[in-house]
Structure 1
Amino acid sequence: MHYRYLAIAGLLCFSTADSFAQGSGQSQVIPLDAAVRTGQLSNGFTYYIRKNNEPAKRAIFYLANKVGSILEDEDQRGLAHFLEHMNFNGTTHFPKNELIDYLQKAGVRFGADLNAYTSFDETVYQLPIPTTDPKMVSRGLDIMRDWAQEALLETDDIDKERGVIIEEKRLREGVAARIQDKTLPVVLNNARYANRSPIGTDSILLHFPAATLRRFYHDWYRPNLQALIVVGDVDVDQVEQQIRKQFADLKNPANEKPRPDYKIALTGKNQFLTITDPEVSATNLEMAIKHTAGKMITTTDYLNTVKRSLFNQVLGARIGELSQKPNPPFLGVNAGIGNLMGGLDQFSFSVTAKPGKLAEAFAAGWSEVEQVKRFGFTQSELDRAKVAYLNNLEKAAKEKDKTVSESYVKEYQALFLEGAASPGFDWEYNFLKKELPGISLDDMKAVANEYIKDTNRDIFIVAPDKEKNNLPDSATVNGWFKTIAAASLAAYKDNVTDQPLLKKLPAPGKVVAQKSYAALGVQQLTLSNGVKVWLKPTTYKNDVIQFMSFAPGGINKYSNEEFPSASSANGIISGSGLADLSPVQLSKILNGKSASVGAFISGRSQGVGGASTVKDFETALQLVYLRFTAPRKDTVLFENALAQSREQIQTRYNDPGNVFKDTVTAVLSGYNYRTSPSTLARLDSISLEKAYEVYRDRFADASQANFVFVGNFNTDSIKPLLEQYLGALPSLNRKEKAVKLPLRVPKGQLVKTVTKGTDNKATVLLVYNGDCVYSTENKVQLQALSEILQYRLLTSLRENAGEVYTPSVNANMSKEPEQRFAVNVSFGCAPEHVEHLVGLVQQDIANLQQQGATADEVQKFKAGFQKQYELQVESNEFWLQYISGKIESNEALKELPNIEKQLGRVNGASIKAASKNYLGGENVIRFVALPEKK
């Protein structure tokens, strides 16, 4: 189904709990959308095909298998996921790594485009392909056919992949994994799911016989458990004919095993567990109240999902208000209905307490839930939720013909794997318009009664090791529930204001000059207060306008003594509401409107950014005006934010990852005070008055501001609104300039090792950096170098050595404040492999410097770059960034560069030269994170 707007409204799962389902008529089976071509071959193989032109000249192929780790025998744990890997390592028509090689030459990137995943119940392969060449569509079907039943599974290839899988598993190690290992068996009631984690076990992954993997493949990769989904710019009839021809001969095994439908049985019992770990930073109470979930088949099912979505939306708003009360005992509270697995969904509740305040934190959070269960919601709350829901529905309706293919693919995937109905947008739109108004407060009360119960309840208390002796037991927590249940609670009072967002219109300005950039379809307006407006009408979206502004200034102009308050100014003031409206009041006023505007203050500039629909564009401009002219300060919110930050600072280095990240930042900035981690002393020096003063100062003068608008608007129609609000922004003509702070990246070769944590894993980051000559051509050469180096590292570190899961190479080149470049090479591995792997990286770099890139590597880069560029330029985001970047860098705003010409300059020799320029090793910093020595 089109869950875009349902997700926005807070829907997390589906159920068929008819006890609170009330529709306007008898429940009926939801029909299938006629726009999707579906069928099933005689061998049970299912297909879904849909024509869709977003994006044009592209199609997405998915092979969905009702096969996951839940089907593994005891000696196969981890092999469903292992098999997914092997489908990329050799099939009948693409032996060894020829599949990846072939697709990369066609512009399909491994990992970013070409990918797959394995979960408990399913394995899904994805392949986006260009459709300009009809042969690519046929080739895509060849690949899907190979993935369905043509994996070679050669013993040597299996043995080589063992190390890669172990390294993928190693990356998951950490405090979250340790906690999950303890909580998951409890949550899953020790069902089969509890000991069928898709990643598997080391003992099996390292030692299983190849025949064991082949047995799993033979048993479960079969047509009656598979579906092919094709959505995109294709000929539906032709694709259907090809599928029927190519997939009809897939065979189900003789005497096939039945595919069990595993479920997690509810016990009716409550469970309690305390967990401590040295890397946990705060005490948390987490709760799951489990329920039996159902399928999305009937109109009653659908209506129930909507009710739960509305319930989550209102409950989330209630809980959001808690954090705005003075000195709350918690750092965070969350609650809502969500999915689980194995046929279950849940009402989840969690609270993160301030030190020593778990009882008070729980009471504050759970009292809100108890209040909802006891009194329900108010009519005004439900009405707001409905208005927001309908607004999202109308937005989706306007963008219906812009729905991307990926959205349909996910829909049909859910239809095949979960049985979730797929009626199409028009059916959903008409159904919701009819049924949504009839949802009542009694319906919301029924949802609460259905989900918030005192059975099938799991409670986990997760805390730092040092709190081990201070944690409550099960009896104590049960006592907390009883106390709140017996307490006298008042019904919720909805604090609603009827004042307008802007009480009085400002005096407007005027357009005093205009200029056109015909090659780009851009018009520039100059307003009487000096504000420059750049307008780029597009049709990439039907009802979206995106914008941003920037002006020189920023926080670099403030002294180190002022820096703590200055650097916090935007976060503190922007989060405090606008004018005399608190964040809660502002949210309620804006309910049902599609307009959002945020401010930023960076080191060298400040401005705003946001988006809206055409209808709510004026509201967005009013928000811009208020961001500039009417910031609000709130002592309660300020003190709450400082208190939360204090707790985070004191426990920040419980997490080894934070130690490593902060070390990298400190070294790369030359231990600059302004980029160093915050301390309690620095936090205590932050002044609300100073932060407010800095914010007001940064937005006191808009005379140098540039506003860029991109979207589906009529330039003449919006001019009066631009004059009314942007023309009214304050103008002091201060002629500010951005302040350039000295850059102190250490020169030469440096090694920095961090030892923290107990997990047997290492993280390596190599930073090659230095001065450069900034140009578009040099940026392309640097990007080509980084991607070609990544191809090589995937081969040498992953495929050949088997000691890394996914090495990463990222490069950037900046013009301001200085012309600099950086190439970052990173990977995770076993601690004992660090030196070997760094040596392999250096060998690959040396080879590039001596031999340059191969023709195949250059072809892969060019194809991938070209395809991505073609997609990017067809988006509002691209043009917003392109226009803004050119203006802010004082570069000429002219037509897009000739990409084919620039790519023509990329060749083996140019990569050889680039590798010497950027990877010469004169300035390279090696960061390594290792576990503490035992």
Structure 2
Amino acid sequence: MPSPALPELPADPEAAIPTDPSIRTGKLDNGLTWYARRNGVPSDRVELWLVVNAGALLEDEDQRGLAHFVEHMAFNGTKNFKKQELIDYLEGIGMRFGPDLNAYTSFDETVYLLQVPTDDEATLEKAFLILQDWPRGSRSTRGDRQRARRRARGVAPRPRRGRAHPRQAVPRAAQRLALRRAPPDRSARDHRVGLSRRAPSLLSRLVSPQSDGCRGRGRPRSRPARRPDREILCTAPESGLAARRPRFEIPAHDEALASVATDREQTLTTVSLYLKRPERSEFTHGDYRRSIVEDLAFAMINERLVELSEKADPPFINAFAGAGRFIRGSEVTIANVLAREGQVERGLETALVEVERAARHGFTATELERGKAERLRGMEVAFAERDKEESDGFAGEYVSHFLTGTPSPGIAYELELHRRYLPGITIEEVNRVAATLLDEGSRVVLYSGPEKDGVTHPEGAALLALANAVSTREIAAYVDRVIDAPLVAEPPKPARIVARSVIDAVGVHVWTLENGIRSTSNRPISRTMRFSCGRSALAAIRSRPKPITNSRPTRRRSSPNPGSAPSTRRGCVVTSQASRSSPAPTSPSATRASSRTEPARISARCSK
């Protein structure tokens, strides 16, 4: 892909961040907002997402669970697709339920996801017909709803998913405490609302076109295919019942709260400290610069936590600090620990001491320079490989743009923002941010662990006392041990290749040198995997922390799950680089000279 002309940036920090000119957007006569972007990965596929600006927060007390219930019933039948026809049709054109056909319901929104091939105009028309049907609601029968209730009650066998699964049951207990509200639910009690008289009042809010947005990402083969799509979407009915969406906030509280949740099928032990605060603006260039400063602070804390996890007797398996949202309108700072069995208190205390160390003494100049360089490098890699971004990555970014107005300026613009702002960020600025990380007020400690013989669990009061005691401890400043020496003091002498072989099953070339060293190279790869918070999607950095929130389904990701605790450190970029095609090196020195191409290198860097 040829490099585009990089944008010029305004000098006024209050200037709004523009929208990527590659995005086409508009509003139909019925009030439905649409986004479209041409993208070639994956090839001959288009992402079609229907976004409804309504979720579980709009439920009244006697409607609890209806938002999630409506989402599930949408796959049981619609006006134009009876019973199993919708799933059967999509599977018939090569799509799979789950990766290519799915949906999710959160507190704030409901999103339906389709990925369909673009080689047949009729297929595209049917896909848009599905999008037309969904806002009108499902055509599920009373029997469908009763079967859903029986599955929720456990009368009939059901897959290991939903509320009964430990990955859902434990977070739900934490959600009720942290949010002072029940989460989006699929319980047996809540499924009764699907048959209640109060259902229509919420349904009118869940299916209103004025609350909907449609995202299209992909590379259509024929331009004329867009005409019937627009005509179909224009037929979605307007709703006279659409009301302005209310804004919700998490209640503040002076007292610290704690939750201890266990489950017999839980396999990991985690403990987290959450600090809740009102949401701040993210719309201006000044806001963007502030977010970079905050992200640098978290990245440097996380580097220190990584050092601790790599010791001979580590205090925890993994720990990270970061920021995100519970619900729209409320932010949270989190310190999360994946604890070793029987060492919960040690792990939590060590992590909080490290955060307190940064808050009290700040960071060193060498840490900041490394953090800034790694962050800029991550942005440069993302820009260089912008043509490899998958369509669902763009779609997720535009969902946030539609729902919250989160800027989506494009990777070229964000790279220029980093080039402008990073050099001027000082250690004093970052230290001021660090000093506020453990501010008092609206604290919540959440613990989850396995319920099994021989395992004892801490009391919530003990965890709160431990967290509060950190602020009174004597804590020394961090010492950044920088080694100013070459990695290899004396380069090795060259050696000839005496044998070559290929492992055909995995496409690996093996070279044996005369000094006994073996060198291997995999098949040509040139790919950057970004997860959790690659700054090519500003919304991703502000994503909700996984431990206590519902999340959209994982779809076609070769990188680690961005929602899992071990991989949600803000700013992680994993890159894998290898040659396109180059001859085997003749010596170690030749290998060093061609280090960009052979052998393959995998590196991890914190860039956000």
Indicate the TM-score class for this superposition, using the shorter chain for normalisation. Answer: 0.7 to 0.9
> Structure 1 residues 43, 390: closer, same or farther in 2, change over 3 A?
same
Measure the CA separation in 2 of the matches of 1:452 and 1:223: 42
Does 2:219 match 1:230?
A: no
1:637-656 matches, within 5 Å, as none
Sequence identity (%)? 28
CA distance in 1, matches of 2:20, 2:312: 51
The answer to whether residue 576 in structure 2 is matched with residue 719 in structure 1 is no
* Cα shift at 1:54: 1.6
Matched residue of 2:82: which SS? coil
2:299 pairs, out of 295, 313, 329, with 313
The 1:325–1:99 alpha-carbon spacing in structure 2 relative to 1, beyond 3 Å, is closer
Question: Which of residues 432, 438, 444 in structure 2 aligns to 1:458?
Answer: 444
Q: Which residue of 1 aligns with 2:416?
A: 430
Given candidates 68, 87, 99, the residue that maps to 1:100 is: 87
What secondary structure sits across from 1:318 in the alignment?
helix
1:333 CA displacement = 4.5
1:719 alignment partner AA: P
Stretches of structure 2 that go unaligned for 5 or more consecutive residues are 1-9, 531-570, 601-608
Change in CA separation of 1:241 and 1:453 when aligned onto 2, cut-off 3 Å: same
- SS in structure 2 opposite 1:450? coil
Give the letter for the 2:257 counterpart: F
Tell me what 1:551 maps to. Answer: none
* 1:787-802 correspondence to structure 2 within 5 Å: none
Residues 325, 524 of structure 1: CA spacing in aligned structure 2 closer, same or farther, 3 A cutoff?
Answer: closer
Change over 3 Å in CA distance of 1:334–1:402 after alignment to 2: closer
Q: Which residue of 2 aligns with 1:842?
A: none
Report what 1:830 is aligned to. Answer: none
In structure 2, what is the Cα distance between the partners aligned to 1:525 and 1:208? 61
Letter in 2 for 1:71: L
What does 1:825-840 correspond to in 2, within 5 Å? Answer: none
1:78 paired residue number: 65
Task: State which of 178, 183, 202 in structure 1 corresponds to 2:174.
Answer: 183
Aligned letter for 1:156? Answer: G
User: Do structure 1's residue 244 and structure 2's residue 230 form an aligned pair?
Assistant: yes
**Counterpart position of 1:163:** 150
Q: Aligned to 1:65, which of 45, 52, 55?
A: 52
1:36 to 23, 26, 34: 23
Compared CA separation, residues 327 and 593, structure 1 to 2 (3 A)? closer
Instruction: Give the Cα separation in 1 of the matches to 2:227 and 2:572.
Output: 47
Structure 1: which amino acid aligns with 2:54?
Answer: V
CA offsets per residue over residues 688-729 of structure 1, 9 Å max, x none? xxxxxxxxxxxxxxxxxxxxxxx443414x6356675599xx
How far does residue 114 in structure 1 lie from its aligned partner after superposition? 1.1
TM-score, reference length from structure 2: 0.77
Check 1:233–1:363 CA distance in 2 against 1; reply closer, same or farther (3 A cut): closer
Contact 1:158–1:210 (8 Å) recurs in 2: no
TM-score (norm 1): 0.52
Q: Which moved more, 1:323-332 or 1:155-164?
A: 323-332
- Quote the offset at 1:186 in angstroms: 2.7
- Do structure 1's residue 391 and structure 2's residue 257 form an aligned pair? no
Give 1:24-423 correspondences, 5 Å limit. Answer: 25-149=12-136, 151-166=138-153, 167=158, 171-173=162-164, 179-188=170-179, 190=180, 194-195=181-182, 197-206=183-192, 208-209=194-195, 212-234=198-220, 238=224, 241-267=227-253, 269-273=254-258, 275=260, 277=262, 279=264, 286-324=272-310, 333-350=319-336, 362-423=348-409
The Cα of 1:123 is off from its aligned counterpart by 1.0
* Structure 1 portions without partners, runs of 5+: 1-22, 545-591, 597-610, 613-710, 728-875, 881-934
SS class of match (2:494): coil
SS at the partner of 2:433? helix
Structure 1 position 53, deviation (Å): 1.3
Helix, strand or coil: the match of 1:132? coil
Contact 1:58 / 1:131 at 8 angstroms: preserved in 2? yes
Superposition deviation, residue 459 in structure 1: 3.0
**CA separation in 2, counterparts of 1:455 and 1:542?**
40
The count of residues paired between Structure 1 and Structure 2 equals: 536
For the residues of structure 2 that align with 1:352 and 1:412, how far apart are their CA atoms? 32
SS state at 1:143 partner? helix
Output the amino acid matched with 1:502.
V
The separation in 1 between residues aligned to 2:215 and 2:227, in whole angstroms, is 14
Checking the alignment, whether the CA contact within 8 Å between 1:59 and 1:233 is kept in structure 2 is yes
- Between the aligned partners of 2:394 and 2:23, the Cα distance in structure 1 is 9
Separation (CA, whole Å) in 1 of partners of 2:501 and 2:140: 64
1:241 Cα offset (Å): 3.7
**Equivalent position of 2:479 in the other structure:** 493
Contact 1:399 1:543 in 2 (8 A): no
> 1:494-533, aligned counterparts within 5 Å?
494-511=480-497, 527-529=512-514
Deviations 1:532-571 (A, max 9, x none): 8677546x65999xxxxxxxxxxxxxxxxxxxxxxxxxxx
SS class of match (2:127): helix
Q: Any conservation in 1 of the 2:128–2:233 contact (CA below 8 Å)?
A: no
Computed over aligned residues only, the root mean square deviation of the Cα atoms, in angstroms, reads 4.0
Distance 2:581 2:144 in 1: 59
Counterparts of 1:593 and 1:456, CA distance in 2: 28
Give, in whole Å, the separation in 2 of the partners of 1:283 and 1:516.
43
Per-residue displacement from partner, 1:452-506 (whole Å, max 9, x unpaired)?
20122223466779898975847x9558745x44444322110111222223322
Q: After superposition, where does 1:433-444 map in structure 2 within 5 Å? A: 433-444=419-430
* Higher-RCO chain (CA-CA 8 Å, sequence separation at least 6): 2
TM-aligned CA deviation for residue 289 of structure 1: 1.1
AA in 2 matched with 1:130: P
Matches of 1:480 and 1:31 in 2, distance apart?
42
